[in-house]
Amino acid sequence: MEEALEMARAKDTKERMAGVERLHQVLEGTTRSLSVSEVTTLVDACMDLLKDTNFRVSQVALQALSAAAVLSGEHLKLHFNGIVPAVVERLGDGKQPVRDAARQFLVTLMEWREMYTQVGPQFREELHRHHLPSSMMKEINVRLEKIEPKIQPSDGVGSPHISADTRSSSASHKKSSPKNKIAPRETSFSSG
C-alpha cells in the first residue's frame, strides 16, 4: 500500500493515475483491517487526490476510499469531519463518474448504522448546503430513513433529526408580506 500511495503522490498524471489504481486494487484485495496510521495516511493522500484536475484520479480515489471504509472500521470516524464535506463537494463535479463514485462512497458510509448516530445531523446539513439535485437528495434521504428508525440512543436524549436551528437557516430567506410592499395609489382624475 505504501508504494501505491507514493506513486499516487507523483507530479506526473500518468504515474499518479497508476498509483491510485494500484491503491484501489490493493484495498479491494485486502481482507485485513487497516491500522489507525494506515487510515490516516490513506485519507491524507485521498483528500489531495479528490481535488485532482484529472477526473479519473478523483474517481478512483473515491473508489479507494470506499474500499478502505470497509476495512478501516472505527478508525475512519476520526476523519469524518474532513472526508464528508470533501466527498459531498464531489457530488457536484462536472463528470458523472466522479459524482457516481462520490455517491457510492457516501452509500458505503451510510451502510454503517453507527455512522449515522455519529454524524447524521451534520451529514444532512452538509448535503443541504451543497444544493444537490433533488433526485440525488431523495435517494440519500430514503437510505437515511432506513437507518434512522434503527437508532436507539442509550441515554434517550439524542435525536437523529435535524434541529430547528439547522432548519432556520433555510427559513430565513422568507419574503416579506405583500401587504407591506403595496402602497396605496393616489390617483387624480382632474385635468389641467
CA distance 184 to 192: 23
Q: What is the CATH number of the domain that holds 144?
A: 1.25.10.10
| pLDDT at residue 41, rounded to an integer | 92
List pLDDT tens digits, range 107-126: 888 776 555 566 666 777 77
Domain around 130: 2-156
The count of domains in the chain is: 1
List pLDDT tens digits, range 50-92: 999 999 999 999 999 998 888 887 788 888 888 889 999 999 9
* Distance, C-alpha 151 to centroid of its chain: 21
In a domain, 185, yes or no: no
List pLDDT tens digits, range 125-159: 777 777 778 887 777 777 666 555 444 444 444 44
